[in-house]
Structure 1
Amino acid sequence: MFGVKLWVTLFFPLTLNGLILGQEHGPGGVRVVVKEDRDGMLPCSLSTKESIVSGVFVWRKVAQKDEGLKEVFLYDVGKHYNNGRPGQSEQFKGRVSHFQDELDHGNASIIIRNTKISDSGNYTCDFPRLRPRQTFSIELVVAATPKPSVTILDATAGWVLLQCEVHGASLTSGVEWKDSAGNTLPAEETRTPERDHYYITLNTTVTRTSRYRCVVTQEEISHQTHAEIFVPISGKVCEDSCSKEAGWLFGGFFLGVLSVAIVLALLVVTNTITIRCYKGSRQQGNGPCEKCSEMLRPQNGR
């Protein structure tokens, strides 16, 4: 098997600029990494640089566990999938093109437009009529770059329960909660499949006034997105709100059966009582401390 030669980028760097994020060479072939919705170039060239204008080359996506072998692109002595040749897999119709002007130099590279997570996998570039036959292996990694959103699930005088949501994540997306010092916080993660992506939720409980950040990392492309939220843990605000509303609640209950004087006395007494909301529970509801969470506002960022 011959190695893949990437001289093609020297001939038209402006055309390919920005198409791919990186290429790695290994014993199994070439690994191409690209962001989702960007164009990806899969390289394949004959080391002899002999013309393949009158030749044949075939691109296929190797069968995976949940799908069979797929026909990506076929060039056969001038006929190909973009000028009437039948047989191309539905997933790649209208999205794959070759470099016609480079066929004279043995270049059979292709571009896959608007890449999707489902395009990730192993590909082969095959020259079936050459003797000896030549086949190259290329791995395509399409990396998602979703943006997280953060919200308040619950709050008491002493703690706040935060949730980070990530739609459109890939299997390799990493999600973390971090405090203002950059420390990773313990959290509970849930991943739910949604088509070619994943829906991720990450919950954490915080007990200090600070700014907290949910960070999504895509290691393949060294890319991060994040969302921030400032959390003021204020027991005084919470307790005052609870006491005030509790006082009016008791006053209203006895209004129909007690005299005005007794009601006023009761209000004075109950307004001095300190009521701790939920008493440490994390159940959501319409409790008197619900107003505490109105102070907390998420701020999304990148």
Structure 2
Amino acid sequence: MAPEGLSVNLDVELLGVSLCVWVSSFLLSDCFEKEPRFRLSPPIGSEVIRVSEGSDVILPCSLSTKESVVEKLFVWRKDEQKKKVFMYDIGDHYNNGLPGQDDQFRGRVSHFPDQLKFGNASIRIISTKITDSGDYTCHFPRINGLTFNMKLIVGSVPKPCVTILDVTDSGVQLKCEVQGAFPKPELRWKDSDGNILDAEEAEISERDGRYHITLQTTVTSTTTTSFQCVVQQKDLNHETASTITVSEKLFVDTCSKVTIEGFVTGMAVTAVVLPLTVFIWMRTRCVRGTQETDGDDETKETIETIETKETKETKETNEPLNSNNNSAELTSTL
């Protein structure tokens, strides 16, 4: 049996050897690891990048270790179709003869050659289009298959056009139009105090992936004559608006429009009915005059007939008398 002091010294020595072996093993395993442990910066995840149509955009992809990627391979792809946006393979890439780039991106995508040595594999897309919107991946096949995902939204954000559509008995009708917007926007009418106004159901149509929207509202006389059409695109975190000022006179005209319309209608009816009434009255008078003239003629004719008849009878009566008188005168003479 070993002395007690010797046993303690042996245990300490064995513990020291174990610690040395463990530390050496850890150091050696770290020193002789075949591939360095890379991380993407920013952290792996889905980043959303928003940009207006027609502008340029940079899609970021960098190794946090700043390890050079000059002698590496990285590939950019879009959507589930895996459209090849850009490829770099140890100095060869799509802009110096490497084949395979999708037609949609040909001549529009470039990388940053002077940044490769710092682990920067970002790309630039120029003159963005709405069709460029989608999901993109930055992939390092030879570095443990590291992949960075991001979403690009290319938006069309036209300013709304606001006009006075009509003035009715209910108030002043305002119209707000947005042409060719993407993503699909939401439209609202507000007064100058920021209160949301009631509006009709929006008219929405889609052509070639762009939205055309019209929203109408009717406003009445209030404490304000200034109204605003607000267009919001949540996917772009974008909002724009146009303001229109309605003259107070239009609200006054709206209130008096019924009276004015009644007056105008009355004048129109009078203009039609009065001449017609006069015409009918004159026509009736002419007919009566004709009838009276005909009556007078008939009466005159009757009187003349009676007078002629009486003259004839008198003449017939007088003729015998004249004959007798002539005979008497002749006898007396003889």
Residue from 179, 192, 198 that aligns with 2:205: 192
Is residue 40 of structure 2 the alignment partner of residue 4 of structure 1?
A: yes
Change in Cα spacing, 1:179 to 1:44, as seen in structure 2 (3 Å) is: same
Q: Percent identity?
A: 47
Q: After superposition, where does 1:76-115 map in structure 2 within 5 Å?
A: 76-115=89-128
Residue from 178, 195, 200 that aligns with 2:190: 178
Task: State the shift of 1:28 in Å.
Answer: 2.4
Task: State the shift of 1:3 in Å.
Answer: 4.3
Q: After superposing the two structures, state which structure 1 stretch, 133-142 or 232-241, moved more.
A: 232-241
Distance in structure 1 (CA, Å) of the matches to 2:221 and 2:106 = 54
Say whether the 8 Å CA contact 2:170–2:218 is kept in structure 1: no
Amino acid across the alignment from 2:185 = S
Task: State the shift of 1:115 in Å.
Answer: 1.9
Map Cα deviations across residues 259-302 of structure 1 (whole Å, 9 max, x no partner): 49x9xxxxxxxxxxxxxxxxxxxxxxxxxxxxxxxxxxxxxxxx
Is residue 220 of structure 2 the alignment partner of residue 203 of structure 1?
A: no
Is residue 132 of structure 2 the alignment partner of residue 119 of structure 1?
A: yes
Distance in structure 2 (CA, Å) of the matches to 1:88 and 1:224 = 36
Match of 1:48 in 2: 65
Is residue 227 of structure 2 the alignment partner of residue 212 of structure 1?
A: yes
Match of 1:135 in 2: 147
Amino acid across the alignment from 1:250 = V
> If the length of structure 1 is used for normalisation, what is the TM-score?
0.69
Change in Cα spacing, 1:201 to 1:236, as seen in structure 2 (3 Å) is: closer
Q: Which runs of 4+ in 1 moved over 4 A?
A: none
Task: State the shift of 1:242 in Å.
Answer: 2.1
Distance in structure 1 (CA, Å) of the matches to 2:204 and 2:168 = 27
Say whether the 8 Å CA contact 2:39–2:65 is kept in structure 1: no
Say whether the 8 Å CA contact 2:41–2:64 is kept in structure 1: yes
Distance in structure 1 (CA, Å) of the matches to 2:105 and 2:213 = 28
Q: After superposing the two structures, state which structure 1 stretch, 110-119 or 95-104, moved more.
A: 110-119
Say whether the 8 Å CA contact 1:3–1:136 is kept in structure 2: no
Greater relative contact order structure (CA < 8 Å, 6+ sep): 1
- Give me the CA root mean square deviation: 2.7
Match of 2:238 in 1: 223
Change in Cα spacing, 1:140 to 1:106, as seen in structure 2 (3 Å) is: same
Match of 1:250 in 2: 269
Amino acid across the alignment from 2:228 = R
Match of 1:233 in 2: 251
Match of 1:28 in 2: 45
Distance in structure 2 (CA, Å) of the matches to 1:92 and 1:109 = 15
Change in Cα spacing, 1:236 to 1:203, as seen in structure 2 (3 Å) is: closer
Say whether the 8 Å CA contact 2:189–2:230 is kept in structure 1: yes
> Which structure has the bigger radius of gyration?
2
Change in Cα spacing, 1:182 to 1:3, as seen in structure 2 (3 Å) is: farther
Q: After superposing the two structures, state which structure 1 stretch, 243-252 or 211-220, moved more.
A: 243-252
Distance in structure 1 (CA, Å) of the matches to 2:100 and 2:263 = 74
Task: State the shift of 1:116 in Å.
Answer: 2.4
Distance in structure 1 (CA, Å) of the matches to 2:40 and 2:255 = 68
Amino acid across the alignment from 1:46 = L
SS across alignment from 2:114: helix
Distance in structure 2 (CA, Å) of the matches to 1:122 and 1:2 = 23
Task: State the shift of 1:61 in Å.
Answer: 0.6
SS across alignment from 1:82: helix
Match of 2:82 in 1: 69
Distance in structure 2 (CA, Å) of the matches to 1:247 and 1:148 = 42
> If the length of structure 2 is used for normalisation, what is the TM-score?
0.63
Say whether the 8 Å CA contact 2:183–2:233 is kept in structure 1: no
Say whether the 8 Å CA contact 1:4–1:29 is kept in structure 2: no
SS across alignment from 2:217: strand
- What is the aligned length? 237
Match of 2:174 in 1: 162
Q: Give the structure with the larger strand fraction.
A: 1
Task: State the shift of 1:108 in Å.
Answer: 0.7
Change in Cα spacing, 1:2 to 1:78, as seen in structure 2 (3 Å) is: closer
Task: State the shift of 1:34 in Å.
Answer: 2.1
